[in-house]
Structure 1
Amino acid sequence: MDSRSRFRQLLDEAPTDAEAIEFEEQWRTWGDLQSIDRTLDAWLTANGFPDGARVGIVLENRPEHVGVLVSLIARNRCIVTLSGLQPPRRLSHDIQRAELPVVVGTRVALAGEGVMEAVGDAAVLELSVDGVREVKGLGEVRPSDSSPGVIVEMLTSGTTGPPKRVLIRERQFDTAITSSVPAPPTDTLFRRGVTMVVTPLVHIGGFWGALGPLYAGRRVCLMRKFELEPWVRAVERHRPRATGLVPALLRTILTEKVPAEKLRSIEVVTTGTTACPPEMIDQFLEVYGIRVLPTYGATEFAGAVAYWTKTMHEKWWTSKAGSAGRAIPGVTLRVADDDGVDLGQGRSGRLEIRTAQSPVGPDEWLRTSDLAMIDADGFLWIQGRADDAIVRGGFKVHPDTVRKVLESHPAVGEAAVAPLPDDRLGQVPVAAVELTDDAVVDDPSELVKELLVRCREQLLPYEVPVHVSVLPELPRTPSSKVSRVELLESVARDMKRAIAV
């Protein structure tokens, strides 16, 4: 059963009192989602929106937003994601760029400064727990604006600059969802169990985190964001065997010393969005007896293309710690040179991927921006990003190389490196560090001196950062990746203060 048919089945056949999504410790039912679907589909149909019509949704982590996603998929329309986490000015800019015929959002999201002006001639539907209502009708926009065969136009996370919009087509969507969750049961609509979702729905991880379980017939516990105590209570309430957390949240659990007995139901945690330090994975296993399973993927591939399973982890982790795992079934990986020639096992180059989840189709190799190596056992090792290279006066600096040296200092919990524009050299590397919770640093400037000495000892001269900032926390995107844009802004401010002193 394809995704559109499955979600249509659930909306048409699920009992109205069947539990669907727990939110703030209260259950929303399939009847609530059906109400969203009825009002939204009725308005779109009455206003002439055809199959494939593009509908913008200002996404927040709330059950009614999941209801909109399910409805648009089921009724053959195209989701256009807009981040409700960003400031109104940036949201307004995204709405203008998207050139949408209709925008759906909550009253609060739509009330942001400049948002209603940004929609132009588009219609605006206000979303509540009961459904949608029109607050602004169609102007001269043509409802025929559509993307046939596209399920979602999704923004990437924007860690390296303005977010890009990625089209995920029906083939990609169906392949990704069927490879990540069990097939729907054939003798009933639902399965037992609850899946916990803390990642923002506007991010590919949160998007799949909510839709995948519903497709498979499971219930979802949806949280606005990760907050430690509510999350621990939910784990104790639902007793999940598996869950997903990004590395920053794993670190929070460890540093806050959550008692192991509170997490005893969990056997595995999947983690992605950014590399998870092997030392943290080892520590999590030692403290909680829980295996942390890294995944590797991208929005362009509609999710993960490489992963660790529990069985693989038990057999291989000791010798393969730091690897991104092996290709998931149906995915082929290779490493190629600049001319696209396969380099074979054990050699470093650009990672290329062939899969039905790819936007170019299942038979073509798609080159990524990642530098990688695939070993003799088929394990993928990500070695940085080709487009992350900082070109300093003609010399290439790989941020990951610098990051590892900075993080080798015992006071540094996490580091990030970014390119700062330079009139003479083109770019120069700058860095920021976040301290460990138990670090005692009386004078940050002395720590910076120590870090620069360490860099000079372990790096080539052109790899040494021109400036290192000590920050209370590294700035992050909603998906918990380090935001390079905000990082550069913080470092630039710090550099100006240093010059002024």
Structure 2
Amino acid sequence: MTSIHDALGRLWGANDGDRMLERDGHWTSWGSVRSLTERIDRELTVAGCQTGGRVAVVLSNRLESVAALIAIFRGGRTLVTISPLQPPDRLSDDLAASAAPFVLAPAALWSDEVFNRAVADLGATGWRLDDGELDLQVRGTTEAVSGDPAVAIEMLTSGTTGAPKRIPLTRTQLEASLASALRHNDRPDVRTKPPLTGTVGLVTLPIVHIGGLWSLLQSLVASRPIAMLDRFTLQGWHRAVKQYRPAVAGLPPAAMRSVLDSDIPREDLASIRAINAGTSPVDPALVDAFFERYGIPILVVYGATEFSGAVAGWTVSDFHARWGDKKGSVGRAFPGVRLQIVGEDGAVLGVNERGRLQVATLQAGRAGGWVTTSDLAHLDADGFLYIDGRADDVIVRGGFKVSPETVVRALRAHPAVADAAVAPMPDQRLGQIPVAAVELMPGAATDGEALREHCRTTLTPYEVPARIFVVDALPRGAALKVDRRRLIAMLEDLEVPAETLATPT
């Protein structure tokens, strides 16, 4: 594909009156987006932000963030993402840790004393970016500031399993990711339709995380008009799909369950040829139920922020031909991606042998060399990848290793369970024990002891959770993945009696 810089440049061939971005049922024209984009670029230039200059943006699903992203990418600068989903104090700490010399933020934050102090301590130049307007709030350094022109974005990982890490992603990595996905799905590298015509692209996840950002970039480089949700709601997603009739949509597993539990009729989703799912593991039973009700394949993909998106996944043709005998797989490697499994000694393992997953791709940088992930996995003889859990999630119970994902799969197999999560809890005698929380299907009823009896039929005794709590809702982040840190806090708040947990069953 062409460079992101050139692909975004195609937007300037659109008419100012063309619809560009829809949010909450209201369309903003390309002329309005272009005007704000160009003003952001001019202001950054005047302030001394040169090529590679780092610009922190409180990045939310709104017009102003889209304009900022286009301006920064087109200007050869680096976008430093700041999540608006954090409490103000944590957001301010994150901004301070970023050390960015330029800041774009909404009006509400400029009214916060802690945020203003963080900007002042950085010596940064900052603007209020709100209501389609850009206003200088504080002038910092007057010296010209440059940086690494290769880095397009510094993005935080989701932080669902630990403290978020800021990952630098280069333009080359992003372009490799976008091109690989196009080839994987047999789509042309270059879109020949006039800009801002054709099918509307849907952005349903927060663009401050890789899944939402990737959806936005896909639509921007294809010069599609975009419908963006502030956050996923069943009503908002249903409205957008029914109105704009997309061929492909994206949903995390929790959102799929919401659709399945709703009264959305099959005909309202008739335009959708496939749904991509890659934010968290997907229960094969959920895929089967969705396909049975709506006739829509769920294309599970595997990726990470570090890979600039997905590196493996299903295609529609693979789904129809192979899902029946490959359930549970996350698909095959994307074009340009190599996968292998290694043991604890680093030796490459054979077919169906479980070990650490390694990935080699330009999407991960490092000149395409091997990157060792935290995921335990195996590859079958046909190249289908299966994720067996995370090496850093393993619970060691009295010397026995328990994979939380294995326990989650067992719990999800119970007809009353909609979703489940498992976390380690400290135990004086055994070191750690697995404790689970589950959400039930609408109208279903069961209890923790019944679920433990169910687990005993498929798990080894040491894998059976010491206790299982039925909860109203599992704690989830913005991308609807279970937040492990909040899950542990929830289980601690439930005050599990120590004597209940002491002995494996």
3-state secondary structure, aligned to 2:129: strand
- Is this contact kept in 2: 1:84–1:109, CA < 8 A? no
Q: Residue deviations 1:266-316, cap 9 Å, x none?
A: 121111111111111111111111111111111100001011111111111
Identify the match of residue 265 of structure 1 among 264, 271, 275.
Answer: 271
Pair 1:321 & 2:327 matched: yes
Q: CA deviation at 1:17?
A: 1.5
3-state secondary structure, aligned to 1:430: strand
| 1:116 paired residue number | 116
- Is this contact kept in 2: 1:82–1:91, CA < 8 A? yes
> Distance between the aligned counterparts of 1:283 and 1:469, measured in 2?
25
> Distance between the aligned counterparts of 2:457 and 2:246, measured in 1?
47
In 2 relative to 1, CA 185–259 (structure 1 residues): closer, same or farther, beyond 3 Å? Answer: closer
Report the AA paired with residue 392 of structure 2. Answer: D
| 1:128 paired residue number | 130
- Is this contact kept in 2: 1:171–1:357, CA < 8 A? yes
- Is this contact kept in 1: 2:157–2:167, CA < 8 A? yes
Moved more, 256-265 or 102-111: 102-111
3-state secondary structure, aligned to 1:361: helix
3-state secondary structure, aligned to 1:152: strand
| 1:418 paired residue number | 423
3-state secondary structure, aligned to 1:475: coil
- Is this contact kept in 2: 1:36–1:129, CA < 8 A? no
Moved more, 396-405 or 453-462: 453-462
Report the AA paired with residue 305 of structure 2. Answer: T
Identify the match of residue 310 of structure 2 among 304, 317, 327.
Answer: 304
- Is this contact kept in 2: 1:123–1:138, CA < 8 A? yes
| 1:69 paired residue number | 69
- Is this contact kept in 1: 2:308–2:363, CA < 8 A? yes
| 1:200 paired residue number | 206
Q: CA deviation at 1:347?
A: 1.6
Q: CA deviation at 1:70?
A: 1.1
Q: Residue deviations 1:187-235, cap 9 Å, x none?
A: 7435411111111001111001112111112111101011222221221
Q: CA deviation at 1:136?
A: 1.5
> Distance between the aligned counterparts of 2:110 and 2:475, measured in 1?
26
Pair 1:429 & 2:434 matched: yes
Report the AA paired with residue 20 of structure 1. Answer: M
Q: CA deviation at 1:423?
A: 5.4
> Distance between the aligned counterparts of 1:187 and 1:464, measured in 2?
56
Moved more, 173-182 or 81-90: 173-182
Report the AA paired with residue 425 of structure 2. Answer: L
> Where does 1:178-189 land on structure 2 (aligned, <5 Å)?
178-181=179-182, 182-186=188-192, 188-189=194-195
Identify the match of residue 400 of structure 2 among 395, 402, 420.
Answer: 395
Pair 1:439 & 2:440 matched: no
In 2 relative to 1, CA 496–374 (structure 1 residues): closer, same or farther, beyond 3 Å? Answer: closer
Q: CA deviation at 1:421?
A: 3.8
| 2:218 paired residue number | 212
In 2 relative to 1, CA 424–71 (structure 1 residues): closer, same or farther, beyond 3 Å? Answer: farther
Report the AA paired with residue 251 of structure 1. Answer: R
3-state secondary structure, aligned to 2:481: coil
> Distance between the aligned counterparts of 2:18 and 2:229, measured in 1?
20
Report the AA paired with residue 373 of structure 2. Answer: T
Report the AA paired with residue 152 of structure 1. Answer: I
- Is this contact kept in 2: 1:420–1:428, CA < 8 A? yes
> Distance between the aligned counterparts of 1:67 and 1:193, measured in 2?
21
3-state secondary structure, aligned to 2:300: strand
> Distance between the aligned counterparts of 1:2 and 1:243, measured in 2?
25
Q: CA deviation at 1:466?
A: 3.3
| 1:463 paired residue number | 463
Q: CA deviation at 1:454?
A: 3.5
Moved more, 78-87 or 131-140: 131-140
3-state secondary structure, aligned to 2:366: coil
- Is this contact kept in 2: 1:40–1:131, CA < 8 A? no
Pair 1:289 & 2:295 matched: yes
> Distance between the aligned counterparts of 1:465 and 1:496, measured in 2?
12
Contiguous gaps of at least 5 residues in structure 2: 183-187, 500-505
- Is this contact kept in 1: 2:20–2:196, CA < 8 A? no
- Is this contact kept in 2: 1:467–1:495, CA < 8 A? no
In 2 relative to 1, CA 54–423 (structure 1 residues): closer, same or farther, beyond 3 Å? Answer: farther
> Distance between the aligned counterparts of 2:32 and 2:346, measured in 1?
51
| 1:444 paired residue number | none
Q: CA deviation at 1:456?
A: 4.7
TM-score normalized with structure 1 length: 0.93
Moved more, 460-469 or 45-54: 460-469
Q: CA deviation at 1:344?
A: 2.6
Identify the match of residue 355 of structure 1 among 352, 356, 361.
Answer: 361
In 2 relative to 1, CA 35–131 (structure 1 residues): closer, same or farther, beyond 3 Å? Answer: farther
Q: CA deviation at 1:465?
A: 2.7
Q: CA deviation at 1:494?
A: 0.4
Q: CA deviation at 1:426?
A: 3.9
- Is this contact kept in 2: 1:6–1:74, CA < 8 A? no
Say how many residue pairs are matched: 491
Report the AA paired with residue 4 of structure 1. Answer: H
Identify the match of residue 256 of structure 1 among 262, 279, 297.
Answer: 262
In 2 relative to 1, CA 111–420 (structure 1 residues): closer, same or farther, beyond 3 Å? Answer: farther
> Distance between the aligned counterparts of 2:149 and 2:432, measured in 1?
42
> Where does 1:10-159 land on structure 2 (aligned, <5 Å)?
10=11, 12-112=12-112, 114-119=114-119, 120=121, 121-139=123-141, 144=145, 146-159=147-160
Q: CA deviation at 1:422?
A: 4.5
> Distance between the aligned counterparts of 2:456 and 2:266, measured in 1?
41
Q: CA deviation at 1:158?
A: 0.6
Pair 1:226 & 2:226 matched: no
